[in-house]
Structure 1
């Protein structure tokens, strides 16, 4: 399918454009999308293993972690070794991980380039597989199998996840950036110090040796080690010796009779300690790998990693040594860190794909692209909702002005129909899928259990499929379900990302790239008014109300105030076309104003603020406050009655607010239409100057909403409250009889109907709002 092209000059091409839009609509209707979409893996993380290479170049980056809280366990740096050099704004990224009620700040820093031999790479992989398998599985059952697979896999030419995660050397170990002593701790070999064990003479700097499952081991090797106790199947990190405890010491009271450790192991486990004079070891439980990227991470169970245990050395089998508790603790954060890096690299590749042939000077921060492809389901501290709201408003604005200037003889209904064919979710989903966007979308909460350990030659780590992108490959790891609306949301959010950082030129570039051909060039609006506006409306007074905007063509002002019922031969049209245009312009300028004025607002707040500012009730109230209803040209007596009733009803509301959610009565939509048509008139008269529209209409809308003054939308509050209380919302019952709308909402809790409420109003929206407000009043009152 060719892109939807509506970039047309002149009326001669209108039929071609209309035919193209119609073809696009028919194709959308005949080709529904399967929600099974690919999951992309950044090529920077994928390299084939080449066993014949004498050495391999790795670009090393230091992952620095700084806790923003007090901890008895220090956090060490980690070395990330990549076969590809990272993009600049990724190589210097920083972000926070949520740890309890505080955070750890993560910084990336380019460190060095090193060459590693195939033997060194194999040892590094063995180390990282061992430490991550232990952290993720908390047992050794899978480890031996995985390490055996590693020995086989190293001789295969396969494409899989390939990078290194290694402990960083401490300052006194420099100039090396990698702590090779720790890396070489896998597998632990007690025979390395066998010469000291034969005659029981301690090695240099060691005061004694201990009997372990591995034989006699120096205390210096066991005090910073990871051990396994076969009688319990548990793993512990040893942090030192307990100088005042041995097998004959009494155990600390634990709600049971006092007994020695020796007695305890004999009675509970049937084990007789042979070396009961040996000092006990101080151990800590293994840390749990968690998702530290969640914005509101709940600690559902007590963390046992801070609890110390006493262990007889002879019951311990050393798995890794030397390995400090700090290193083990630091590596527990790595899966979350690497998930964020993988996400950023996806954003980098998407950005490159979009800008590959861009001749404009467009610079888009990678973090903004990441924000645009991250949905709320990821439960992270960034997601696309704010950018989606911004992009949605700009998309409607760009499409509306393009259609308005292209189809100058079409009425509002035809323009709206054409616009919906361009901006509908189905159309955006189609365009997004044609551009291969779904594979970049992040729509799942990170599950550390599904994280692929680099170098782990298990089935899920092999990537056999790939797609050519810009003369490069991007790899596919399985499929997942993505709803069509999610794809549409991401298209809108990417428009917002390009708009917020690169301006309107960048946003138009992206829209053209994705297949929506629009421009923002001014085309003169052909008009054939034969009447003098001053004879029908008070032009000067209306200009005064519009912040003293002076119309070049006052007939636009006349058109903006003319209802369809007021048709004179000298007035060829009513306000509806200008309303179509002004609706989109107002939506965009208000949304952009809120987005830029409150840059630190939480994701999603822009959506709520936009809804509070851009709605028909708000506009109708504004029209009444300014007295614009007195200037509407209409010959419909029913309309005049509706306007009069609206004016009376709004008189009972507070004069301090223009927000419409407080209204419990209906209103005449013509009043809202007039605000939008006036905005459209100013936009056309000023030759598409959005700032002129905002400057003229803003005083009428004051005070604009702010995070502090934004009222709660009762409908949204109703849904949020039911979700929080785990209520089940039944499908509402709606009906309209004799011009009266009735709406009944019903809520269940534990299979029992908890609330039922029916409201009536002159339209469905008001009835729904009233029903939700009453439900909230009753439920919170109880």
Structure 2
């Protein structure tokens, strides 16, 4: 390219192609990747399947009326140790943080019948939690039994209640897994526990239900359906002091029997039976939200008194502890899916970098998580760090490779590289866009493993002919979001492996820079007699210049020599931005919550701070400029007023400085 009558090198491989790239719109239809570890390949042999089991340990920070219970995750693909180590986080539940930990618990072999039973259990419990409707559950189970779409690639893993400590030989609580009732066939009719003693107390007496006669122990921990209200409830026990003939708790003027007859037209036949204590089914929520509003207890948490004869048992035994714990699972699995996406992206990138380059998975997860997710970490701090290094690297590259070009052209070259459109397209070309997390998690849209009632088909894709990934559809994503993720990944490699690792990643993305091996030749002509006291300034700056003409150029306004200090200003601006950003990021890691780094950098990287620092050091007295410019400088310095010269922080400075050479 011809600039100023001289032909410059083609920096970063830009030229005309880069100019077009910077203006080319980015395709906004991008894939949405699904981690391979959670997908069942087509035509898998289900006669006998080995599952790798992981104990999801839940721990409440304070005592609650509903305790939590552990859950088993069983996957066909073994999760790596790095993934398990990073599955240690908190959920923001109603009563305070709840800690989640993963632990490898061993392997189990399941035959095809056992796999179907486990799938039926998890589909049932999650459909109850998602829909709160029996009709939808029946339709889903009907389709499940027909096996529709079973041969396609699908999200496939098992989520099952963990056995209690005294049952741990089996890992899985098989009693709960077998808790499904086919209420239409009255499977629970006359089911009395074999181990039950003779009915001499309320714990083991037969009760009349819509399933028929059922042992009390079978209904005390169960999920029931009440046709008269079309509702589902979790039964936690019997009410020893209430029968159908008792006065209602919230209306002492009427009995339960009279109420049901007046309200629903139901004549209770077994009004001497003790009533059941029921509780509404838990509503799924996003427990990963960090800045959540205080949630109020909803009507689903209120207790109700139910006559057994009006209840149809859907699941038994299933405790309220299990039901509550499973309501947390969509948020837990979303976190795991996100972490596995980060693992897959990390492996894809490292495939193309030198073997000694590494990066923590949690940093990759942070880099692909946008503010839109509203979680406890997002990419903003890493994006700010990466943005500053990208500008620094590009500025230095152009400064060295285009020695004859003025500051305006250098800025134009840099903009072609760092623009959102350019970075966005590079990120899409490198498949990064498919890994981005950009939406608040909605647990009601979570894909229940093994549930084929939704049209959700996966397509296999090879990433650069090396790694397998699955595409779960497409989405629109803005080029700026992809650009932010690219910058965040630059920041992630920079913060963990240093500048060289960041450059390796940038080179792979297509931003080829070399900060060490580019030869730089200066072409600035200065007067034979250096017009500044170099020795005094070197003493003032505590720095020895190998080439004193650089100092002259840095102090020369455009009114003194053509172009003046503008090329060095172009480079120095990027250096200052990078150094200050890195300083804050490294110095105050405990303060680096999303947004803080951006605020600190904006407050410090500005003309006000630079001008005040220059005046404080007395550098303004050595600027080489015309008399008019010097008068403007003097006038600006005299207008400092009450501004303290002890402060160089933009957080405290509100004084305006004209653009006169600082």
TM category, shorter: over 0.9
Q: In the alignment, is residue 165 of structure 1 matched against residue 159 of structure 2? A: yes
Asked if the contact 1:161/1:462 (under 8 Å) is kept, the reply is no
Q: In the alignment, is residue 212 of structure 1 matched against residue 203 of structure 2? A: no
Q: Structure 1 110/203 Cα, relative in aligned 2: closer, same or farther at 3 Å?
A: farther
Asked if the contact 2:51/2:76 (under 8 Å) is kept, the reply is yes
Determine the C-alpha separation between the residues in 2 that align with 1:651 and 1:155. Answer: 77
Q: Structure 1 94/178 Cα, relative in aligned 2: closer, same or farther at 3 Å?
A: same
Q: Structure 1 303/543 Cα, relative in aligned 2: closer, same or farther at 3 Å?
A: farther
1:134 alignment partner in structure 2:
128
Select which of 247, 250, 259 maps to 1:250.
247
Q: Structure 1 203/457 Cα, relative in aligned 2: closer, same or farther at 3 Å?
A: farther
Over aligned residues, Cα RMSD in angstroms?
A: 2.5
Q: Structure 1 188/77 Cα, relative in aligned 2: closer, same or farther at 3 Å?
A: farther
Determine the C-alpha separation between the residues in 2 that align with 1:110 and 1:357. Answer: 31
1:60 alignment partner in structure 2:
53
1:33 alignment partner in structure 2:
26
Determine the C-alpha separation between the residues in 2 that align with 1:61 and 1:614. Answer: 48
Q: Structure 1 278/582 Cα, relative in aligned 2: closer, same or farther at 3 Å?
A: same
How far off is 1:467 after superposition? 4.6
2:566 alignment partner in structure 1:
576
How far off is 1:215 after superposition? 0.4
Q: In the alignment, is residue 640 of structure 1 matched against residue 636 of structure 2? A: no
Determine the C-alpha separation between the residues in 2 that align with 1:88 and 1:489. Answer: 29
Determine the C-alpha separation between the residues in 1 that align with 2:428 and 2:496. Answer: 24
**Secondary structure of the structure 2 residue equivalent to 1:141:** helix
1:505 alignment partner in structure 2:
500
Determine the C-alpha separation between the residues in 1 that align with 2:559 and 2:588. Answer: 42
Select which of 175, 180, 187 maps to 2:181.
187
Select which of 343, 349, 355 maps to 2:344.
349
How far off is 1:397 after superposition? 0.8
How far off is 1:207 after superposition? 2.9
Q: Structure 1 493/195 Cα, relative in aligned 2: closer, same or farther at 3 Å?
A: closer
How far off is 1:545 after superposition? 3.0
**Secondary structure of the structure 2 residue equivalent to 1:473:** strand
Asked if the contact 2:377/2:594 (under 8 Å) is kept, the reply is yes
How far off is 1:20 after superposition? 3.7
Asked if the contact 1:197/1:217 (under 8 Å) is kept, the reply is no
Asked if the contact 2:161/2:176 (under 8 Å) is kept, the reply is yes
Q: Structure 1 594/429 Cα, relative in aligned 2: closer, same or farther at 3 Å?
A: same
For residues 625-668 of structure 1, give each alpha carbon's deviation from its aligned partner in whole angstroms, at most 9, with x where no partner exists: 2221111000151x223322321222332334323466555423
Q: Structure 1 60/237 Cα, relative in aligned 2: closer, same or farther at 3 Å?
A: same
Q: Structure 1 305/652 Cα, relative in aligned 2: closer, same or farther at 3 Å?
A: same
How far off is 1:116 after superposition? 1.0
Highest RCO, 1 vs 2 (Cα 8 Å, sep ≥ 6): 2
Select which of 23, 29, 35 maps to 2:17.
23
Structure 1 gap ranges (5+): 1-5, 7-11, 673-782
Q: Structure 1 51/404 Cα, relative in aligned 2: closer, same or farther at 3 Å?
A: closer
Q: In the alignment, is residue 123 of structure 1 matched against residue 117 of structure 2? A: yes
Select which of 39, 44, 57 maps to 2:37.
44
Q: Structure 1 323/195 Cα, relative in aligned 2: closer, same or farther at 3 Å?
A: closer
2:324 alignment partner in structure 1:
329
How far off is 1:427 after superposition? 1.0
Determine the C-alpha separation between the residues in 2 that align with 1:238 and 1:405. Answer: 75
How far off is 1:120 after superposition? 0.8
1:629 alignment partner in structure 2:
620
Aligned residue pairs: how many?
A: 652
User: TM-score, normalization: structure 2?
Assistant: 0.93
Structure 2 gap ranges (5+): none
Q: Which has the higher mean CA deviation after the structures are superposed, 411-420 or 656-665?
A: 656-665
Q: In the alignment, is residue 368 of structure 1 matched against residue 358 of structure 2? A: no
Determine the C-alpha separation between the residues in 2 that align with 1:502 and 1:347. Answer: 18
How far off is 1:321 after superposition? 0.4
1:292 alignment partner in structure 2:
287
1:270 alignment partner in structure 2:
265
For residues 283-334 of structure 1, give each alpha carbon's deviation from its aligned partner in whole angstroms, at most 9, with x where no partner exists: 1111111000111112454333432211111111110000000000000000
Asked if the contact 1:559/1:573 (under 8 Å) is kept, the reply is no
